[in-house]
Amino acid sequence: MTKQQANWSPYDFNGGTCVAVAGADYCVIAADTRMSTGYNILTRDYSKICKLADKSLLASSGFQADVRALQKNLEARHQIYQHQHNKQMSCPAMAQLLSNTLYYKRFFPYYAFNVLGGLDNEGKGCVFTYDAVGSYEKVGYSSQGSGSKLIMPFLDNQLKSPSPLLLPAQDAVTPLSELEAIDLVKTAFASATERDIYTGDKLEIVVLNREGIRREYMELRKD
Amino acid sequence: MHLVNKLSSSGSSRPFPVPSREPSSVEKIVEIDEHIGCAMSGLIADACTLVEHARVETQNHRFSYGEPMTVESTTQALCDLALRFGEGDEESMANTDFLLNNCASRLWFPLVCCGLRKGMGVSRPFGVSLLIAGHDENGPSLYYMDPSGTFWQCGAKAIGSGSEGADSSLQEQYGKDLTLQETETIPLSILKQVMEEKVTPNNVDIAKVSPNYHLYSPSEAEAVIARL
């Protein structure tokens, strides 16, 4: 008689793709709104983007229960920070906090693939990309999730960031205008939707700039 | 022990000179972080506990948020510590529970009742006043903290045995638009007034935060003294 193995996993995979692009004075964060499990769709209208602070937005794909727990954790930490320091957290500070929060659960990770986007203290766009355990890097653009292997090479081709190893440190933000960047993101998602079964339904785009936050939607293929 | 502090520089004097005492071992101005310095007056051992706590807090902040802690938040962190005498902390409560469950209760009970049950909190206030000077995104700032745990933001302040006279002199001479040179000489000249012995590089400490903390070497102190 063979030993009984546990056939229960604490994790599930809800699919989806997230993208963020940093500009000189704006940041575009986008994610699709499809939530799946296996070959089924749970809902066509689920937001993966969360506003953590005035100038920081988090887009996460992976296991949405863990994503939600992570968002709540960070929101609570931000409240405490505001009480203690009498100011909002800057995007680089939130980036460090997210990294530490993820590594804290190094041996039972948040199954969340994150892209943090926002404006830094000078008003320049910044994007931080993470793995599941908190390793992060400041970049000019990034994508995470099921469609990232389709989108990332396309962004590399269009936005070609200078190597972060070059000295003196080169600016990673894209010279594109805000409207051009949004158009690029829409194109990227439309392409990813064609071949990735977990990406589709609707695209949520959030734009952060000097004037504030703006949200827009675009329909994607529903198959 | 007299301390005089102005926005961006501070001077302190060493206690009554005793020939056998090594002057450089008396440290009354210390660094808390790259951008924050602290001058102390009172029970120096208590001050060292507070400074150590501030150092830990500022480094924790850098670790968690990747940014320097503001001077006000640092001061607030110190003041939070100042109020913890009398009742026990939650942390020490956890320790006492372990002891209660694991030791022969008959023997430990009396001890537990009066001491440990209350928690190993601090038994008396910190007998020290601090001047916390630093530079953050709001520019240079100076905070004064007393044993009650209250803090004030000041442009100029004196603490220690000659502080009353020094404070009134500061009132007259301080202005928001002083140059760095003036903020060096003014506290030192006030120190000279209240000190009994002559001001030399060996019996005063001068430090500035502009924008990083820097404790003057004897030769730099010498240069400022020469300008008095």
Domains annotated for chain B, with CATH where assigned, are: 2-85+125-225 (3.60.20.10)
Is the CB of residue B74 less than 8 Å away from at least one CB of chain A? no
Task: Quickly state the pLDDT bin for B118 (edges 50, 70, 90).
Answer: very low
pLDDT beyond 90 at A153: yes
pLDDT beyond 90 at B88: no
Residue numbers in A near B68 (CB within 8 A): none
Tokens representing residue B225 in the block: 């003294």
pLDDT beyond 70 at A190: yes
Is the CB of residue B80 less than 8 Å away from at least one CB of chain A? no
pLDDT value at position B100?
Answer: 40
Task: Quickly state the pLDDT bin for A117 (edges 50, 70, 90).
Answer: very high
Is the CB of residue B98 less than 8 Å away from at least one CB of chain A? no
pLDDT beyond 90 at B228: no
| Number of neighbouring beta carbons within 10 Å of residue A24 | 14
Q: Which residue in chain A is spatially nearest to B65 when comparing CA positions?
A: A93
pLDDT value at position A1?
Answer: 80
What mean pLDDT, rounded, does chain A reach?
94
pLDDT value at position B182?
Answer: 86
pLDDT beyond 50 at B73: yes
Exposure string of A66-99, with b = 16+ CB inside 10 Å and e = fewer, is: bbeebbebbeebbeebeeebeebbbbbbbbbbbb
pLDDT beyond 80 at B6: no
Residue numbers in A near B76 (CB within 8 A): 84
pLDDT tens digits for range A5-64: 878 999 999 999 999 999 999 999 999 999 999 999 999 999 999 999 999 999 999 999
* ipTM score above 0.90: no
Q: Is B32 left (phi over 0), alpha (psi -120 to 50) or beta?
A: alpha
pLDDT beyond 70 at B115: no
Report which of residues B123 and A65 the model is more confident about: A65
SS3 assignment, position A161: coil
Report which of residues A201 and B195 the model is more confident about: A201
The neighbouring-strand residues paired with A205 are A30, A216
pLDDT value at position B27?
Answer: 84
Alpha-carbon distance A215 to nearest alpha carbon in chain B (angstroms)? 28
Residue numbers in A near B72 (CB within 8 A): 86
Residues whose CB is less than 8 angstroms from the CB of residue B220 and which lie 6 or more positions away in sequence, other chains included: B206
Instruction: Select from B64, B72, B137 the Cβ nearest to the Cβ of A96.
Output: B64
Residue B76's nearest CA partner among B136, B29, B160, B132 is B132
Is the CB of residue B59 less than 8 Å away from at least one CB of chain A? no
Percent of chain A with pLDDT over 90: 89
Q: Using CA atoms, how far apart are residues B58 and A179, in angstroms rounded to an integer? A: 41
Residue numbers in A near B67 (CB within 8 A): 90, 92-93, 96
Q: Best residue in A73, A74, A82, A85 to probe B by mutation, most B CBs within 10 Å?
A: A85
Alpha-carbon distance A100 to nearest alpha carbon in chain B (angstroms)? 7
Report which of residues A35 and B203 the model is more confident about: A35
pLDDT value at position B120?
Answer: 52
Contact assessment for residue B43 and residue B224, using Cβ atoms and an 8 Å cutoff: no
pLDDT beyond 90 at B13: no
pLDDT beyond 90 at B153: yes
pLDDT tens digits for range A132-142: 999 999 999 99
Report which of residues A104 and B99 the model is more confident about: A104
- The separation between the first and the last C-alpha atoms of chain A, rounded to the nearest angstrom, is 45
SS3 assignment, position A219: strand
Lowest mean pLDDT among A79-88, A108-117, A155-164: A155-164
Q: Using CA atoms, how far apart are residues A15 and A200, in angstroms rounded to an integer? A: 10
Alpha-carbon distance B138 to nearest alpha carbon in chain A (angstroms)? 12
Tokens representing residue B211 in the block: 């924008």
Contact assessment for residue B22 and residue B150, using Cβ atoms and an 8 Å cutoff: no
Residue numbers in B near A96 (CB within 8 A): 63-67
Residue B38's nearest CA partner among B134, B120, B124 is B134
pLDDT beyond 60 at A191: yes
What mean pLDDT, rounded, does chain B reach?
80
Residue numbers in B near A89 (CB within 8 A): 65
Mean per-residue pLDDT, A84-95: 96
Q: Using CA atoms, how far apart are residues A165 and B115, in angstroms rounded to an integer? A: 58
pLDDT value at position B105?
Answer: 42
pLDDT value at position B101?
Answer: 43
Amino acid type, A8:
W
Residues whose CB is less than 8 angstroms from the CB of residue B186 and which lie 6 or more positions away in sequence, other chains included: B6, B170, B173, B174, B178
Task: Quickly state the pLDDT bin for B178 (edges 50, 70, 90).
Answer: confident
pTM above 0.90, yes or no: no
Instruction: Select from A81, A86, A93 the Cβ nearest to the Cβ of B66.
Output: A93
pLDDT value at position B97?
Answer: 39
pLDDT beyond 60 at A178: yes
Instruction: Select from A84, A90, A95 the Cβ nearest to the Cβ of B73.
Output: A84
Task: Quickly state the pLDDT bin for B108 (edges 50, 70, 90).
Answer: very low
Report which of residues B190 and A196 the model is more confident about: A196
Report which of residues B87 and A212 the model is more confident about: A212
Is the CB of residue A132 less than 8 Å away from at least one CB of chain B? no
SS3 assignment, position B180: helix
Max mean pLDDT among A74-88, B5-19, B172-186, B212-226 falls in: A74-88
Is the CB of residue B141 less than 8 Å away from at least one CB of chain A? no
pLDDT beyond 80 at B7: no
Is the CB of residue A86 less than 8 Å away from at least one CB of chain B? yes
Test A86 with B67 for CB contact under 8 angstroms: no
pLDDT value at position B85?
Answer: 67
pLDDT value at position B117?
Answer: 39
pLDDT beyond 80 at B94: no
